[in-house]
Structure 1
Amino acid sequence: MPAADLPLLIDVVRMAGRVATSFVGKSARRWDKPGGAGPVTEADLAVNDMLKHQLLLARPDYGWLSEETEDGAKRLMHDRVFIVDPIDGTRSFTEGGDTWAHAIAVAERGQVTAAVVFLPLRDLLYTAALGGGAFLNGAPIAASPVTSFEQACILAAKPALLGTVWGSGACPPFKPAYRPSLAYRLGLVAQGSFDGMLTLRPSWEWDIAAGALIVAEAGGTITNQRGGALLFNNPDPRLDGVVAGGSAIQAALLDALL
């Protein structure tokens, strides 16, 4: 049902943008999650509540997995599940930045079939449906054709640049860059603004699911850090890192990693 789900996701993600921007980032009440899981704000919870109500009202037979909802085994009984990050890049939001995003995906038996990533303060809407291509604000996008590290700009956090994670003992000679939202990083890779991205830490499904389909539909490749296919709605909703990019540079990144 990708064609039917995508318009729903587009409608509700724009609603999410209105809810989030009704809060002032720096003054929104915030607190830290237990176990060093990062910050959360009243805006995250308000967006989560709205999305859960609207999406499950429209699709009551779908399961639900969200960063801001206590997880349980019930979602595993559903063939289709919403995978949601109400605000990806909460630190950017609390600092008054504009690189935070809403990310919503539908996964069917492990495969993402419809996805949106929306940055309301930048008016950037990435969309994709399985087999239908990837788009930014309605225009088709395509991943980078770059083939060599010397020409490549890769989105990566500092731990992924350490020589200890690369087979040669040194980071390849690509130009590194960083953006705080994983969903936004994947959108940037899908549109070819950056040639690839990688994160080698365990990654929550809600950070990756929407962007994964958008990259793939833009002609890019995305896997875990060992080259394995990404499957979603797992009992433990964490992935073994993520490597994405235009197909040539993504393969080169995998080859260069330990």
Structure 2
Amino acid sequence: MPGTDLSLLVDAALEAGKIASRYSGKEAKRWEKPDGAGPVTEADLAVNEMLEDTLPAARPDYGWLSEETEDSTDRLDRSRVFVIDPIDGTRSFAEGSRTWAHSLAICENGVTTAAVVYLPQRDMLFAAATGQGATLNGDLITVTDTANLTEAQVLAAKPNLNSTHWRGGQVPDFGRAYRPSLAYRMALVAQGRFNGMLTLRPSWEWDIAAGDLIIREAGGQCTDRFGAPLRFNNPQPKLSGVVAGGQLLHTKLSAALNPDSSGIPGH
């Protein structure tokens, strides 16, 4: 089933790329969501409409969770569920950048079994299915690992370097880079271009469900900030951040983090 599901997601992602690419980011109509939830554009909504029409029709017994669809508790009664971000990196899209992605996943009993992260403007399609490895444009990819934090290249937003996040206030001296799309950051780790990534704030499931499987199938490890495996289709679809990378680096990063989240900014 994961292989068949993956073909379904790949086809849907390619169609999503065609739809989104018809819009010029800076000219696309844009609105701000309530409660500071960030922007949404007409491209997000057009992609979401296509996906919501297409995917559940192909798998009518699967549940549905998408950033751009009002959530329903119906999904909680389904063993399999689509977890979708029509456009991850909407701010980037609206600014006219190419660094945004479609993030599509299928999860079974809380675990991602098929996943696609597609960047149409960069012609990069990352994909994975359980037990089948991870690919970029059809070629197998694998993580690059290091046990030395000072040699590691890690994707992380600057607030993650606040000393309160780290054990004893000691921030590791790793190389830091950043990409606007969380799904893309995870895919880049799977590709081996960066050794790891982390985000220490609560994270929406649709941003990370696809990247989780792609990293694991590329030989890496992906957990929340406290070292617990990621589980999806929760009543509140938010998880306690993400720490990901090769096995050795993941161990080092996790050990360096402050295990007590109380009083940590943004947590």
- TM-score (ref. length: structure 1): 0.99
Corresponding residue for residue 33 of structure 2: 33
| Residue 168 of structure 1: how far off its partner (Å) | 3.0
Shift of 1:92: 0.4
RMSD value, Cα: 0.6
Q: 1:164-206, CA deviations, whole angstroms, 9 ceiling, x for partnerless residues?
A: 2111313101011100000000000001100100001100000
Name segments (4+ residues, structure 1) moved above 3 Å: none
- Deviation per CA, 1:130-175: give whole Å up to 9, x if none: 0110000000000112111111010011111111211131310101
Alignment check: 8 A CA contact 1:83 1:104 kept:
yes
Q: Secondary structure at the match of 2:167?
A: coil
AA paired with 1:129? A
1:68 alignment partner, SS class: coil
Task: Identify the residue that residue 169 of structure 2 maps to in structure 1.
Answer: 169
Tell me the amino acid that sits aligned with residue 216 of structure 2: A
Q: State the alpha-carbon separation in 1 of the partners of residues 250 and 115 from structure 2.
A: 21
- Identify the residue that residue 248 of structure 1 maps to in structure 2: 248
Structure 1 counterpart SS, 2:235: coil
Aligned residue identity for 2:228: G
Aligned to 1:201: 201
Contact 1:224–1:230 under 8 Å retained in 2: yes
Instruction: Say yes or no: does 1:113 pair with 2:113.
Output: yes
Query: Which residue does 1:226 correspond to in 2?
Result: 226
* Partner residue, 2:235: 235
SS of the residue aligned with 2:221? strand
Task: Kindly provide the CA deviation profile for residues 203-225 of structure 1, in whole angstroms up to 9, marking residues without a partner as x.
Answer: 00000000000000000000000
Q: Tell me, what secondary structure is at the counterpart of 2:171?
A: coil
Question: Conserved in 1, the CA contact under 8 Å of 2:44 and 2:87?
Answer: yes
Tell me which amino acid in the other structure corresponds to 1:102: H
Write the distance in 1 (CA, Å) between the matches of 2:36 and 2:158: 19
* Inter-partner Cα distance in structure 2 for 1:242 and 1:236: 16
Partners in 1 of 2:77 and 2:142 — Cα distance?
Answer: 35
Provide the residue aligned with 2:158 in structure 1: 158
* Cα distance in 1, alignment partners of residues 45 and 54 from structure 2: 14
Q: Match of 1:121, SS?
A: helix
Distance 2:144 2:154 in 1: 11
CA distance in 1, matches of 2:155, 2:163: 16
What's the CA shift for 1:77? 1.1
CA distance in 2, matches of 1:113, 1:138: 18
Deviations along 1:95-150, whole A, 9 cap, x unmatched?
A: 00001000000001101000000000000000000011000000000011211111
Q: Distance in 1 between matches of 2:170 and 2:145?
A: 24
Q: Distance in 2 between matches of 1:189 and 1:41?
A: 28
Match of residue 18 from structure 2: 18
Q: CA deviation at 1:57?
A: 1.2
The answer to whether the aligner puts 1:183 opposite 2:183 as a matched pair is yes
Question: 5+ residue gaps in structure 1?
Answer: none
Summarize the alignment of residues 104-143 of structure 1 with structure 2, pairs less than 5 Å apart: 104-143=104-143
Which residue number in structure 1 is paired with residue 71 of structure 2? Answer: 71
- The one-letter amino acid of 2:246's match is G
Identify unmatched segments of 5+ residues in structure 2. Answer: 259-267
Seq. identity, %: 60
Q: Does the 8 A contact of 1:162 with 1:170 survive in 2?
A: no
Give the TM-score normalised by structure 2: 0.96
